[in-house]
A and B are shown apart, each in its own frame.
Chain A
Amino acid sequence: MRMRRLLWTLIGAAALVCAQEKKEPQREKISQKFMEVKYADANRIASLIQTPGVSIRSDDSMHAIIVLGTSETVAALEDMVKKLDVAPPNVELTVYLVSGSSQGAADELPQDLASAAKQLHGLFQYKRYRMLESFVLRGRDGREGNTSGILPGSSSAYDFRYRSATVSGGTPRVVHINGMGLLVRTPTGGRNQKGEMEYRNAGLNTDIDVAEGQKVVVGKSSVNGSDEAMILIVTAKVVQ
């Protein structure tokens, strides 16, 4: 009886040894990969793709990421880097500064603004719309922009700026312009007690969303107590 127990114990131990040998995982091949980052910040991408068991080193000034890990993981991370490293879109804003007046007969607007003028005439009593200035601003997605100058044929100075213009996906794409502001400074001709010139300020500030192909009109009546309106017409285009 004792002999039989001993034999069964030996068989069990041998079976355990064989089973453990089968369970031992095969060692995966380790590989190292250099990845070039053309557009995005290499350090930001490296922090995004951090994975346990993988060594990731990055240098933004050299536009490089080096990944050390199993071949399968390295290949997956390479795909992620390719998806993340895309050229950011550029945002092109075309801005028209227009005045609305209760006097006059014909509009002085470019043909591009005919549809906007038609809608304005249908909504307001202003008889004449005149373009004071137009400009194009182009910048990176998410960046700020500004421009300034003197309105042609006047002594008024203008300053147009926005805090950020970001593009969201979908069709059509929409440009979100945050912190958009226009300030027009017109000298009154007078001076203050310090002898400095006095200005009359008029401006507007708001956030707007402009879809591609759309004209967004932002206006304000009774500028400086007059019967004139200050109007901004903005169109946006996303350029890759």
Chain B
Amino acid sequence: MTCQECELALAREESSGAVNEHLSACAACRAQAEEMQANSQALRAFATDELPSVRAGVMAEIHAARRMRWDWALAAAAILVVVFAASRMWRIWNTPVPELPPVRIAVAPPEVPIPVEKTRPRRQAPVQHAEPLLVKMLTSDPDVVIYWLIETKEGTE
């Protein structure tokens, strides 16, 4: 096996008796095989590395840049609003208040206690009133209404 054939076999990661026999005999090829193996191990190790510190650092820098931009915009908006509010307040305070007409206040008169007699009312006997009986008569003319009084008490002076 020549050195070129051995190199190709190593690149294909073929391990055979002829390759091992050539490596034991050829120092150059043996050195190259060791180097390729070291590289392969290094690549495998690199592939499994999660790189946490690098990612976190990059993302923090991105957030910081964004936050800086928003903070400046917020500050500008706040300044504008505060200036606007201050100007309105200044206008309100400087507006002259119209004078109101005098208010008339009515004062309620003091309560005057009403004297109440505390004597018990005497129970009186029911008075028999000679109320006449008023009878409405039926008429054929709706424009004529006739009432007749019955049993009216009369007297002579």
A23: chain B residues within 8 A (beta carbon): none
A21: chain B residues within 8 A (beta carbon): 88-89, 92
- The answer to whether B74 touches A204, judged by C-beta atoms less than 8 angstroms apart, is no
Question: Is A83 located at the chain interface by the 8 A CB criterion?
Answer: no
- The answer to whether A220 touches B149, judged by C-beta atoms less than 8 angstroms apart, is yes
Question: Is A111 located at the chain interface by the 8 A CB criterion?
Answer: no
Known contacts A11-B77, A123-B146, A215-B145; is-contact A201 B101 (Cβ 8 Å): no
A156: chain B residues within 8 A (beta carbon): none
Q: Of the candidates B140, B147, B148, which one forms a contact with A208 in the assembled complex, judged by CB atoms under 8 Å apart?
A: B147
Question: Is A221 located at the chain interface by the 8 A CB criterion?
Answer: yes
> B3 to nearest A CB, angstroms?
67
Q: Which of B84, B137, B146, B148 has the most CB of A within 10 A?
A: B146
- The answer to whether A18 touches B85, judged by C-beta atoms less than 8 angstroms apart, is yes
Which chain A residue lies CB-closest to B75? A7
Digitize B126-157: 1 where CB-to-A-CB distance is under 8 Å, 0 elsewhere: 00000010100101110111111110101111
Known contacts A18-B84, A27-B98; is-contact A11 B78 (Cβ 8 Å): yes
Known contacts A123-B146, A218-B147; is-contact A201 B88 (Cβ 8 Å): no
- The answer to whether B143 touches A213, judged by C-beta atoms less than 8 angstroms apart, is yes
Digitize A66-80: 1 where CB-to-B-CB distance is under 8 Å, 0 elsewhere: 001000000000000
A216 to B149, CA, bound (A): 13
Contact size class for A? 35 or more
Question: Is A106 located at the chain interface by the 8 A CB criterion?
Answer: no
Question: Is B81 located at the chain interface by the 8 A CB criterion?
Answer: yes
Q: Of the candidates A27, A68, A122, which one forms a contact with B140 in the assembled complex, judged by CB atoms under 8 Å apart?
A: A122
Query: In chain B, residues 102-133, which have Cβ atoms closer than 8 Å to a Cβ of chain A?
Result: 103-104, 132
Main SS class of interface, A: mixed
A30 to B98, CA, bound (A): 11
Question: Is B47 located at the chain interface by the 8 A CB criterion?
Answer: no
B74: chain A residues within 8 A (beta carbon): 4, 7-8
> A69 to nearest B CB, angstroms?
10
- The answer to whether A215 touches B144, judged by C-beta atoms less than 8 angstroms apart, is yes
The stretch of A39-47, A87-95, A113-121, A147-155 in contact with B is A113-121
A200 to B152, CA, bound (A): 14
Q: Which residues of B contact A (CB under 8 A)?
A: 71, 74-75, 77-78, 81-82, 84-85, 88-89, 92, 98, 100-101, 103-104, 132, 134, 137, 139-141, 143-150, 152, 154-157
Beyond A119-B144, A122-B140, A215-B145, list 4 extra A-B contacts (CB 8 Å): A3-B71, A18-B85, A115-B143, A217-B144
